[in-house]
Structure 1
Amino acid sequence: MTNTHKALINQEDKSLKVQEVPLPSIISKGEVLVQVEAVALNPGDWKIRDWLSKPGDLHGCDFSGTVVELGEGVTTVQVGDRVASFVLVGSFAEHVKTKASLLWEVPDSIDWEQAAALGGAAADTAFQALSLRHGLPVLGEPVTDKRPFLVWAASTSVGMYAIQVAKLAGYTVIATASPKNEALVKSFGADAVYPYADESTPSKIAEAYPTLSQALDCFAEGTSTLSIAKSFSNKAGKIITLNPVNDETLATDFPEVKHEWTTCYTLLGEAVSVGPMEFPLNEEDFKAMAEWKQKVPELVASGKLKANPISHQDGGLESINDGLDWLKAGKVSAQKLTYRI
C-alpha cells in the first residue's frame, strides 16, 4: 500500500478537487482503515462544502468498502470484510479511517451502492431520532398496541428509513409526502400517507389518530413543525426535528408540544466540531449506535431494512461536486445519489 491516496479536497472557491494526499494513519486503538468502494451523498454534504468548510478540508460521510488495515484491539471485523458506515468527514476518498465499532458487515445480497446508502448517516439518524430521542423499542420487543407515529416529509432519505425503524418497533406509521411519492412511501411501510402541502392535512391526521403524540420532522423548515403540532389532537406531545427550530407561534399556541433537534454527529463516540458548532462526546448515543450496527446486517438480510431508491452516478470522485450542486438546487427527490470510487 502506498503512503498517499486520492481524496476530494475543499478549494478557495468552495469547490471540491481531487488531490493526492497522505493516506490516513491508524494511530488510535479500535480504528480501522477501509478502502472505499462506493459513497452516498447527503444534503448536509453541500451545506458543509459551502458554509462550514475551509480550504484543505476533506469531505463526505457515507461509504461502503473493504477493510484493509486493523488498529490495536480490533476484533469485530477482519481484513477483507465488506463494511459500511458514516464518518464526520473523509469518505469522498479512496480510503477512510473510522472506529471499528461503528461499522456493520455488509451481506453479499446487496451491492456497494446500496450498502453506502444503508450504512450512512440517514439510516443512523432515523434510529437515533426514534430510539434514543423518542424511546421507541427499536432494539427490544416491539409494542403490540400499534400506537401511532408521524413521519413528516417521509420521502426524504431519513424519512424512508424512519418509516422502517418505526415499523420495527411495532408502530402504526403515518406519513406525509407529495402525491407523486405516496406509493413509494407506502412501499417502505407507511400505513397512511397524507399530502404535506395540503393545509387540511394536520386536522385530518388529528381526527384520524387522536392518540398521536410523537413525530419526526424530516424537513424542519418553514411551518413544518407547527403543522405537526396541529396534528396532535390533544395539543401535547414531542417532535424531533432534523434542523433547529425557532417558531414563536409554536411556543405560544402549543406550549405542551416539545420539540428537540437531533444530529447524527453525537453518534460518533467523540467530541466533534462542525464549523462553529460544537458537539460533546455522548457515550449513551455511541453505545446505542454500536448495538444498532450489530443488528443492521440481520435486518438487511431479512428484508426488514432496505435502501432508499438509488441513483447510480458515473465519474467517481471527479463527479461528486456536480451531485452536490444538484442537491443544493433541489433537483434530487426521493433518491440517493451514489458513486463508485
Structure 2
Amino acid sequence: MAPSEMTALALNQRSWLEILFNAIQGKGISHGVSVKKVQRLSIRPSELLVKVYSVACNPTDVAHIDIVGPAHSIVSCDYSRVVEEVRAAATELWKVGDRIAGVVHGGLFPDKGAFAEYLKVPSDLAWRPPPSMSHQNASTYGISAVTAMQALYTKLDVPWPGSNNSTPTNSTILVYAGSTTASLFAIQLSKLSGYTVVTNCSPHNFDLVKSYGADAVYDYHSISALEDIKKDYPNLKRAFDGISLKESTRFCFSAVEKSGGKVVVLLDTVKAGRKPGVEIIYILMYTLLGEPFAFVKPIGPSFKAEPADREALEKFYKNLRLKWCQEDLTVCWEH
C-alpha cells in the first residue's frame, strides 16, 4: 500500500493582492509552484491508484500554472507507470503491477495532477502499453494523442478505423503544421481511417511527417503553399489546425472554403461557430474526461460534462490496448 502522504508539484497559495501586484509589474498572475507533501486521497471503486514513473510536459501545464490553476492544484496531465491499487469495480480490466498510461486534468484539482508520486485515474480511461514500449514514450499518448482523436472522430466526421462507416472514396484531410505532436497523431489516425493526408511543415521535417503517413507535404514557409494545396486538392472538406493561431486558421479556412467544410482549432483564436461556408470548431480535450470544470472561478468560463466525449476517449484507449498495438501499427511504434 502507498503511504498516506506523497510528494507532488503543486501550486502555492498567494494572496490576491500579491497576484495583482505581480500582474501590474508584468510578472504574471500565478500562485507559483513548489514540491510539497500532500495527502494521498483514497480511490473510488471504479478508480485505480497509479505509481507514476514518467510524465510528459505540455503547453497547457504552463497555462494552468500561470493563469487558470487554483491554489494547491497538482500540475500536469500525461503519465505512465504501473497500477499500485485496484478496487473491486476495476478488477476485470486491471490488476496490481499492470503497465498503464493515460491523461488526467492536471493543474485544476488538488488530487488529479500527474506530477506526483501517485495518481488516481478512472479505470476505463487509461490504456496498457505493450512491453516493448518505454514508459517515457507511453506517457506521450496523453494530451496530444487524444486531442487528435477528439478532432477527427468527434468533430470532423472521420470514421473510426474498422468501423462500419466506410471511408468515402478520395477522402482527404488537411493537417496544418504536420510536425507538431498533435498533428503527427492526427496524421497517423487519419491514415488508419483510410484518408489521404495533406500537410505542411518546414522542409527539414518532410521526411518525418512522411514516415508517419503523410501523402503530400508542402513547404510551411512557401508563399504559394495555400494556392498549391487548393489547386492539387480542390475538394478538401476537413482540416485540423495543429497551431491554431489566426494565420494558420485563416489558411485552413481558405483551404476548405470552396467545399464548405470544417476546421478544428485548438485555441479559441477564431470564435467557434459558423462562418460563411465553413464551420470553425474549437475543442478542449478536457471535455473527454467526462466531468464538468471551470477556469478562474467564478469569473472564468465553465464547461459541462460531455458523455459522448468521454465515450470517445474510452473507445480510443480500448482500441490502443486491445487492437492497434497488437497489430504493430504506426500509432504504437517506439518513436
Q: Same fold (TM over 0.5)?
A: yes
Cα separation, partners in 2 of 1:307 and 1:93, compared to 1, 3 Å: farther
Aligned: 1:63 with 2:84: no
Residue in structure 2 matching 1:294, options 307, 318, 324: 318
1:203–1:230 CA contact under 8 A, matched in 2: no
Q: Distance in 1 between matches of 2:295 and 2:37?
A: 24
Which structure's relative contact order is higher, taking Cα pairs within 8 Å and 6+ residues apart? Answer: 1
Instruction: Please say if 1:10 is aligned against 2:11.
Output: yes
User: Offset of 1:199 from its aligned partner?
Assistant: 2.6
Cα pair 1:269 1:286 within 8 Å, conserved: yes
How much does 1:288 deviate? 1.9
The aligned residue for residue 83 of structure 1 is 100
Aligned pairs (5 A) from 1:101-250: 101-118=124-141, 120-139=142-161, 140-141=163-164, 143=167, 145-232=169-256, 234=258, 236-246=260-270
The 1:155–1:307 alpha-carbon spacing in structure 2 relative to 1, beyond 3 Å, is farther
Deviation at 1:51, TM superposition (A): 1.1
Task: Describe the SS at the equivalent of 2:331.
Answer: coil
Equivalent pair of 1:4/1:20 in contact (CA under 8 Å)? yes
Q: Deviations over 1:307-339 (max 9, x none)?
A: 685xxxxxxxxxxxxxxxxxxxxxxxxxxxxxx
Letter in 1 for 2:117: E
Amino acid paired to 1:299:
W
Moved more, 296-305 or 283-292: 296-305
Contact 1:31 1:72 in 2 (8 A): no
Is the 2:174–2:198 Cα contact (8 Å) retained in structure 1?
yes
Cα pair distance change 1:241/1:47, threshold 3 Å: same
C-alpha displacement at 1:57, in angstroms? 1.6
SS in 1 for 2:245: coil
Aligned residues between the structures: 304
1:247: Cα distance to partner?
A: 6.9
Which residue type is aligned with residue 8 of structure 2? A
1:173–1:191 contact (8 Å) kept in structure 2: yes
Helix, strand or coil at the partner of 1:131: helix
- Give TM-score, length-normalised by structure 1: 0.84
Q: Shift of residue 235 of structure 1? A: 5.2
**What percentage of residue pairs aligned between the two structures are identical?**
32
Give the equivalent residue in structure 2 for 1:304: 330
- After superposition, the Cα gap between the structure-2 partners of 1:243 and 1:307, relative to the gap in structure 1 and judged at 3 Å, is farther
Cα distance in 2, alignment partners of residues 209 and 308 from structure 1: 32
Query: For residues 233 and 53 of structure 1, do their structure 2 counterparts lie closer, same or farther at Cα, with a shift above 3 Å needed?
Result: closer
Residue 324 of structure 2 aligns to which amino acid in structure 1?
L
Q: CA deviation at 1:40?
A: 0.6
Quick check: 1:240–1:261 contact (8 Å CA) kept in 2? yes
Q: Where in structure 1 are there 5+ consecutive unaligned residues?
A: 310-341
Q: Which moved more, 1:274-283 or 1:185-194?
A: 274-283
Q: CA deviation at 1:272?
A: 1.9
AA in 1 matched with 2:46: G
Cα pair 1:7 1:18 within 8 Å, conserved: yes
**Alpha-carbon contact 2:8-2:36 (below 8 Å) kept:** yes
* Whole-angstrom CA distance in 1 between matches of 2:320 and 2:170: 23
Shift of 1:261: 0.4
Pairing 1:32-71 to 2, within 5 Å after superposition: 32-71=48-87
SS in 2 for 1:223: helix
RMSD over equivalenced CA pairs, Å: 2.1
CA distance in 1, matches of 2:257, 2:294: 39
CA apart distance, 1:289: 1.4
Note closer, same or farther for the CA distance 1:69–1:247 as it changes in structure 2 (3 Å cut). closer
**Distance apart, 1:30 and its partner CA:** 0.9
**1:16 CA displacement:** 2.5
User: Can you give the 5+ residue segments of structure 2 that lack an aligned partner in the other structure?
Assistant: 15-29, 107-112
SS at match of 2:8: strand
- Judging changes above 3 Å, is the alpha-carbon distance between structure 1 residues 23 and 215 closer, same or farther for their aligned structure 2 residues? same
Task: Letter of the 1:136 partner, please give it.
Answer: V
| Cα distance change on mapping 1:14 and 1:306 into 2, 3 Å | farther
CA distance in 2, matches of 1:60, 1:138: 28
Alpha-carbon contact 1:63-1:86 (below 8 Å) kept: yes
Runs of 4+ in 1 over 4 A off after TM superposition: none
Shift of 1:215: 0.5
Shift in alpha-carbon separation, 1:155–1:187, aligned structure 2, 3 A: same
- Tell me the amino acid that sits aligned with residue 67 of structure 1: V
TM-score with structure 2 setting the length: 0.85
**What does the per-residue CA deviation read over 1:84-137, in whole Å, with 9 as the maximum and x for residues that have no partner?**
00000110111111100101111101010011012x111011111000111111
Corresponding position of 2:290: 269
